[in-house]
Amino acid sequence: MARLHFTSALLPSGWADDVQVVVTDGTITAVTPGVMSAAGDERHAIALPGLASLHSHAFQRGMAGLAELRGDTTATFWTWRETMYRFALAMTPDDVATVATLLYVEMLEQGFTRVGEFHYLHHDLDGKPYADIAEMAARIAQAADASGIALTLLPTFYAHGSFGGAAPHDGQRRFICTVDQFSALVAASRKAIAPLPGANIGIAPHSLRAVAPGELAAIIPLADGGPIHIHAAEQVREVEDCLAWSGRRPVEWLLEHAPVDHRWCLIHATHMTDVEVDSFARTGAVAGLCPVTEANLGDGTFPAREFLDAGGHFGVGTDSNVLVGVPDELRQLEYAQRLKRRERNVLSGGAGRSTGRTLFDHALAGGARALAQPTRGLTPGARADIVTLDAAHPSLAGRARDAVIDGWIFAAGSDAIDCVWAGGNKVVEGGRHRLRQSVRKRFNAAVRRLVA
Ligand SMILES: [Zn+2]
């Protein structure tokens, strides 16, 4: 058992002063505001709950910043994808474990305490399944275990190269499963994460490009009550191809043909009509927004204000992991809206409300919903995922309550986090994860080899 004491803490009911939090076996068992610290309490200034990065492709951390060179043709998502495929085709299970461990260490250092790993790099270099079909999933679980981050594993079903059941191309060979293989993969993945505290599992049909309607219907039961994530409407060309194939836009098609409800998370959903925005919001499904990656890839701007006005839920994900941080995602989300609408504080939710706080609350609730976490935040029964901020940081000086969150998201850069507890273990102290040095060394060696 551990007892923590915070001068100020963001609880589900709002900010509270002088809060004692008791952690037992990785879970918060008591939260008491308005008490002085007692002997044996570990004292900190400002506490927030950890957030989820609800959408990650861990292996892509290895190629972060490697696709920023313009080629002969227009640089688009599709040219970025060629670099990503080359990288994916070269990585061994050891490489994946190393890259994922570094990524999860960075996520924890930057305020993410749970990751939704949308995992599609399944097979051996030649495209044949490993002897254990969940070999790569086990490496993801190993990385989560080493770092301490909570894992929601989303094994991905990927079968086709484009709409209408087109054959996959050779660059996709490590991703491809039949429905039967995928069923075996999900069962083996379930076993791989079973020993991990706090872990759970769902499924991820990759996209309507990669999954035919009959396959989608066949794999949905494999979620077995867990979350279902799918990429949708990230790219204009994807919307055009979907229209040509079905006469429907991707989000429109899903809402008409799939049982989309609160268990579902539509990743990106960037390109929607007003009718799609309203219908999607009404399902209770989560929009999995990845603002930094969407900006990096030139995807477009999610209709965030319209979606929130319609009562929609969203969470954030780091997706390609080109840059990892809670403030980066939330700031980029708001800034894209400001640039589009030429006004400020677009997502604050109303007069006098803090934009940072509103974004944080949405991301906490939407992330928990999308990764099937019924209890969230600093409250009894929740996993003890706690982030403290450095009250001495210049961008937090003289701030209290919501102004602290605004200072962190909009002004503080990446060094405002002090400590992070993941499942009750203090894994980050003074802004540094205890594995930072050793895992950076291994990561750098692996990447030097992969880019050579
Ligand atoms: Zn993605």
Give the number of other CB atoms < 10 A from CB of residue 72. 6
Write down the catalytic residue from 299, 319, 385, 418.
319
CATH of domain 2-49+378-437: 2.30.40.10
pLDDT band for position 84 (50/70/90)? confident
User: What pLDDT sits at residue 212?
Assistant: 97
Q: Is 268 part of the annotated catalytic residue set?
A: yes
Instruction: Measure 183 CA to ligand 1 centroid, in angstroms.
Output: 21
Share of the chain above pLDDT 70, in %: 100
Average per-residue pLDDT in the chain? 96
For the chain, the C-alpha Rg in angstroms (whole number) is: 21
Nearest to 155 by CA among 119, 114, 205, 191: 119
| Residue 239 half-sphere exposure toward CB, CA atoms < 13 A | 16
Average pLDDT for 52-66: 95
Do the Cβ atoms of 242 and 208 come closer than 8 Å? yes
Per-residue pLDDT for 66 more than 90? no
Average pLDDT for 380-398: 97
Average pLDDT for 184-200: 97
Residues 325-363 as b or e (16 or more Cβ within 10 Å = b): bbbbbbbbbbebbeeeeeeebbbbbeeeebbbbbbbbbb
Instruction: State how far the Cα of 174 lies from the Cα of 128, in Å rounded to an integer.
Output: 7
Could you say which of 3.20.20.140, 2.60.120.10, 3.40.980.10, 2.50.20.10 is the CATH number of the domain covering 51-370? 3.20.20.140
pLDDT digits (tens, 9 = 90+) for 30-53: 999 999 999 999 999 999 999 999
Average pLDDT for 258-262: 98
Average pLDDT for 414-423: 97
Q: Give the tokens for residue 195.
A: 């020993």
Write down the catalytic residue from 123, 229, 231, 268.
268
pLDDT band for position 76 (50/70/90)? confident
Instruction: Measure 291 CA to ligand 1 centroid, in angstroms.
Output: 11
What are the residue ranges spanned by the domains of the chain? Answer: 2-49+378-437, 51-370
Instruction: Measure 57 CA to ligand 1 centroid, in angstroms.
Output: 6
pLDDT digits (tens, 9 = 90+) for 331-383: 999 999 999 999 999 999 999 999 999 999 999 999 999 999 999 999 999 99
User: What pLDDT sits at residue 274?
Assistant: 98
Instruction: Measure 80 CA to ligand 1 centroid, in angstroms.
Output: 13
User: What pLDDT sits at residue 322?
Assistant: 96
State the first-to-last Cα distance of the chain, in angstroms, to the nearest integer. 48
pLDDT band for position 71 (50/70/90)? confident
Instruction: Measure 359 CA to ligand 1 centroid, in angstroms.
Output: 21
Per-residue pLDDT for 106 more than 80? yes
Average pLDDT for 11-38: 98
Instruction: Measure 21 CA to ligand 1 centroid, in angstroms.
Output: 36
User: What pLDDT sits at residue 79?
Assistant: 77
Domains 2-49+378-437 and 51-370 are alike in CATH topology: no
Instruction: Measure 124 CA to ligand 1 centroid, in angstroms.
Output: 21
Instruction: State how far the Cα of 33 lies from the Cα of 9, in Å rounded to an integer.
Output: 9
Instruction: Measure 120 CA to ligand 1 centroid, in angstroms.
Output: 10
Per-residue pLDDT for 72 more than 80? no
Per-residue pLDDT for 238 more than 80? yes
Q: Which amino acid is at 220?
A: I
pLDDT band for position 92 (50/70/90)? very high
Instruction: State how far the Cα of 279 lies from the Cα of 232, in Å rounded to an integer.
Output: 15
Do the Cβ atoms of 47 and 33 come closer than 8 Å? no
Q: Residues with Cβ < 8 Å from 190, sequence gap 6 or more? A: 201
pLDDT digits (tens, 9 = 90+) for 278-312: 999 999 999 999 999 999 999 999 999 999 999 99
Dihedral sign of CA atoms 17, 22, 27, 30 in order: negative
Instruction: State how far the Cα of 417 lies from the Cα of 388, in Å rounded to an integer.
Output: 6
